[in-house]
Structure 1
Amino acid sequence: MVSTSKIKSVDFFRKIPRDLTEASLSGAGLSIIAAFAMIFLFGMELNDYMTVSSSTSVVIDKSSDGDFLRIDFDMSFPALSCEFASIDVSDVLGTNRLNITKTVRKYSIDPNLNPTGSEFRSGPTAKPIKHDEEVDEEYGEGSVVLNAKNFDRISHQHAILVVNFFAPWCYWSNRLKPSWEKAAKIIRERYDPEIDGRILMGKVDCTEETDLCRRYFLDKVCRNHIQGYPSIRIFRKGSDVRDDHGHHDHESYYGDRDTDSLVKTMEELVAPISLQSQKDSGSLHNETKDDTKRPAPLAGGCKIEGFVRVKKVPGNLIISARSASHSFDASQMNMSHVISHFSFGKKISPREMSDMKRVLPYLGGSYDRLTGLSYISNPSDSNANVTIEHYLQVVKTEVMTRSYKLVEEYEYTAHSSLVHSLHIPAAKFHFELSPMQVLITENSKSFSHFITNLCAIIGGVFTVAGILDSILHNTVRLMKKVELGKNF
């Protein structure tokens, strides 16, 4: 067996008997200073160990989401009716998608940008509107001319009032005019307003009766609720007046505009209403199931939200008034809008955003740069035909966290401008994606490296303090010897 004395011989830390050691005031002071130095350096090292370090590199974009990019948006247009609001996408490769509806929702909004009801349904727009092929010059004037003075009185005299809001300069209004007047004449003969009174067809010239065409509009900043010409509205007696503003709730007609179709539609509107009930009640409402007749927007503004998928090439997202069978007065259109949200790529969860900001605290500020911004074009003569354009430079950022979790984000810069145009005003978002991406890697520090540095701190401070104590002690002894030598 190995004796205890032999084991003790390998001791690196041999002890000096306490009786042979001497405590000094200077040594105590240095010990206290050394202890504080150790605590301070330990805190610094621990903070460095806990601090996240990262490395940044720029690489070619090899995204996992393929060749397409998602754009999410939530915008409010106080002066654009949901009836005509269209979301279009185009790019440099020739892609041109018009009036996207599958992934987009529209809501009529009041002047405070609050929705006034449920989602506005545009309905199918696949087939073109049919008009009379031959124009009969002897059609006569069958519809009643309506104006601000007689509109309320006439609308309350008939169970149903069907009105054509038109503009004389409008191509589609002029195509509708012959068939509208012929249909109105036929309906007048079948349902004499003086004897029957269940239905009447009228017309309003919006270039002459501008206030009447704005009548159902609530926001003073915007221009006109009747934004497309011709607009055919169906007003129903009894349930068509709102007590809060005195405005009419009504329906829009989107069907064919030839004489036969118009007459058939008027007959369908009258059919559920008996002549006796019209005379007795005067308060009737017929729910229409035909898709050619749908509720008209309750207000002149529209909230548009949803998403579109675009190719990863320079392109455009355009919001404007669009219709294949209506005309628009460009000088009266106002594309002012408020952006509640506009971002590229998939939505980032709060937890993922927290991970990203842990790596780079300033990251994430460009994720939704347009949020909360308003772009207002005053509807004055000097600002007519104004298109609002946004130029967006998009770059992808990937963050690899310490847990090897990949977080992706698209950031962009935005520059906006108001441009005068001869065409119908629009809100345009021009986006251009960078072929490069920023890769940020979160670097974790080794625990063994932390322990090594900790030992180095303790040993180093202890050694330095020992050296200083030895120098100080020897210096004091030397000075005492010199002083004793002088005395002798």
Structure 2
Amino acid sequence: MTLLFLSELYDYLTPKIAEDLFVDTTRGSKLRINFDVVFPSIPCNLLSLDAMDLSGEQHVNVQHNIYKRKLDLQGRPLQDPERQEHIGHSKDDSTNTTQGSTAEVTTPKCGSCYGANQRKINVKDAYRTKGWAVPPLKDIEQCVREGKLVESEELPKEGCQMYGYLEVNRVGGNFHIAPGKSFQHNHLHIHDVQQYKTKDFDLSHRIRHLSFGYNIPGKTNPIDGTEFTTEKGPKTITYYVKIVPTTYERVDGSTLSTNQFSVTQHQKSLQMGLGESGLPGVFFTYELSPMMVKYTEKHKSLGHFLTGVCAIIGGIYTVAGLIDAAIYHSHRALQRKIEIGKAT
């Protein structure tokens, strides 16, 4: 009886979740994207994060609320997380490559822009402003002097963990993590990977976490812990995400607006230099469902609980009475047989 009562009490105190489906009429809110991705074979200095949506809004080389952590080849952290402000060589790399020439370090020199006619800015930025193709870096005086000719095979043998969150418009779009510095030119989104050997790119990665909004109690994200291994070379790895807006209403009346999602994955190998369009990197393309799911926590009423307790008590006494009656009548019948001498 005590066990049944405790079971009923636990059932009464534990809220039940009711699910409802209806058309999503919410507008104007932002979509929060939380992610944590590890690239075991690409250094942090090479990776950039960009986001764009169907409304035309673009975020190039996102840095706000985004952190990078250098990892060794075994995945162990080499330093504390930090915000990445430059894509390419770090300041330490540039300093180390110029230690041999004190005159070059202490006396800045503005070299030629090779026809781009843009002084005191990065040569490659000057070419992009003009809409010209950037020449080989070995032919640019500044790049030779500042040690910017390192190709991917000469980059540090380390990995990178990139994590943080984005807030984007609540419309379809994509965000991607790709090698090279990103920029816009003539309404085109471009990543500068000219100084790197794309055949050495290893885009193998592990998605530690991906969610859109806050976590719902009892629900898990479908690709958390997913590991994707691929061969070296330029590849476009795309995750197609279908987002379902979700509302979670607690017993106390507070409401949590978040999202659930499903995902499929596709990989495409690129032939760089043969006129094939595409960008090497990991892409997350998402679209929102017009339907919304609502989860509502509900408690049993006190009357329902008391009815259950009474049913337990009444059921126990009824069963006990039936057992007692059966034992009593069996004993009386046996006594009668003994009295008339028919018992064996």
TM-score normalised by the shorter chain: which range applies? 0.5 to 0.7
Assess if the C-alpha contact under 8 Å between 1:387 and 1:425 holds in 2.
Answer: yes
Tell me the secondary structure at the aligned position of residue 12 of structure 2: helix
Q: Aligned pair 1:343/2:211, yes or no?
A: yes
Tell me the secondary structure at the aligned position of residue 173 of structure 1: coil
* Distance across 2 between alignment mates of 1:43 and 1:156: 75
Q: What is the TM-score when the length of structure 1 is the normalising length?
A: 0.48
Match of 1:449 among 304, 326, 330: 304
Q: Aligned pair 1:93/2:55, yes or no?
A: yes
Aligned pair in 2 of structure 1 residues 418, 160: CA closer, same or farther (>3 Å)? farther
Offset at 1:308? 1.6
Q: Aligned pair 1:217/2:160, yes or no?
A: no
Q: Aligned pair 1:70/2:65, yes or no?
A: no
Q: In the alignment, what sits opposite 2:171?
A: 313
Offset at 1:389? 1.3
Q: In the alignment, what sits opposite 1:159?
A: 102
Q: Aligned pair 1:394/2:243, yes or no?
A: yes
Offset at 1:391? 1.6
Q: In the alignment, what sits opposite 1:415?
A: 264
Q: In the alignment, what sits opposite 1:405?
A: 254
Matches within 5 A, 1:27-38: none
Give 1:97's aligned amino acid. H
Aligned pair in 2 of structure 1 residues 95, 454: CA closer, same or farther (>3 Å)? same
Match of 1:334 among 195, 202, 224: 202
Aligned pair in 2 of structure 1 residues 456, 391: CA closer, same or farther (>3 Å)? closer
Offset at 1:106? 3.7
Q: In the alignment, what sits opposite 1:425?
A: 280
Assess if the C-alpha contact under 8 Å between 1:107 and 1:302 holds in 2.
Answer: yes
Q: In the alignment, what sits opposite 1:195?
A: none
Identity of paired residues, percent? 26
* Distance across 2 between alignment mates of 1:331 and 1:433: 35
Offset at 1:52? 3.8
* Distance across 2 between alignment mates of 1:442 and 1:160: 71
Assess if the C-alpha contact under 8 Å between 2:63 and 2:83 holds in 1.
Answer: no
* Distance across 1 between alignment mates of 2:102 and 2:57: 48
Assess if the C-alpha contact under 8 Å between 1:337 and 1:374 holds in 2.
Answer: yes
Offset at 1:484? 8.8
Tell me the secondary structure at the aligned position of residue 306 of structure 1: strand
Aligned pair in 2 of structure 1 residues 303, 478: CA closer, same or farther (>3 Å)? closer
Assess if the C-alpha contact under 8 Å between 2:98 and 2:147 holds in 1.
Answer: no
Match of 1:322 among 181, 196, 215: 181
Tell me the secondary structure at the aligned position of residue 371 of structure 1: coil
Give 1:120's aligned amino acid. Q
* RMSD of equivalent CA atoms: 4.4
Deviations 1:446-467 (A, max 9, x none): 2233334433444465467557
| Higher strand residue share | 2
Match of 1:375 among 228, 231, 245: 228
Aligned pair in 2 of structure 1 residues 155, 429: CA closer, same or farther (>3 Å)? closer
* Distance across 1 between alignment mates of 2:83 and 2:318: 77
Assess if the C-alpha contact under 8 Å between 1:107 and 1:120 holds in 2.
Answer: no
Give 1:427's aligned amino acid. V
Deviations 1:123-177 (A, max 9, x none): 9xxxxxxxxxxxxxxxxxxxxxxxxxxxx9x988643678x9xxxxx94235983
Assess if the C-alpha contact under 8 Å between 1:75 and 1:340 holds in 2.
Answer: yes
Assess if the C-alpha contact under 8 Å between 1:58 and 1:437 holds in 2.
Answer: yes
Give 1:415's aligned amino acid. T
Matches within 5 A, 1:102-251: 102-113=64-75, 114-116=77-79, 118-122=82-86, 158-159=101-102, 171-174=133-136, 177=139, 180=141, 201=145, 213=151, 216-219=154-157
* Distance across 1 between alignment mates of 2:326 and 2:202: 86
Aligned pair in 2 of structure 1 residues 159, 109: CA closer, same or farther (>3 Å)? farther
Tell me the secondary structure at the aligned position of residue 135 of structure 2: helix
Aligned pair in 2 of structure 1 residues 404, 94: CA closer, same or farther (>3 Å)? same
Assess if the C-alpha contact under 8 Å between 2:49 and 2:175 holds in 1.
Answer: yes
**Structure 2, unaligned runs of 5 or more:** 88-95, 106-110, 112-131, 184-190, 271-275
* Distance across 2 between alignment mates of 1:58 and 1:439: 6
* Distance across 1 between alignment mates of 2:42 and 2:248: 40
Offset at 1:482? 10
Offset at 1:429? 0.6
Give 1:455's aligned amino acid. C
Give 1:341's aligned amino acid. H
Tell me the secondary structure at the aligned position of residue 134 of structure 2: helix
* Distance across 2 between alignment mates of 1:108 and 1:92: 33
Give 1:336's aligned amino acid. S
Assess if the C-alpha contact under 8 Å between 2:247 and 2:255 holds in 1.
Answer: yes
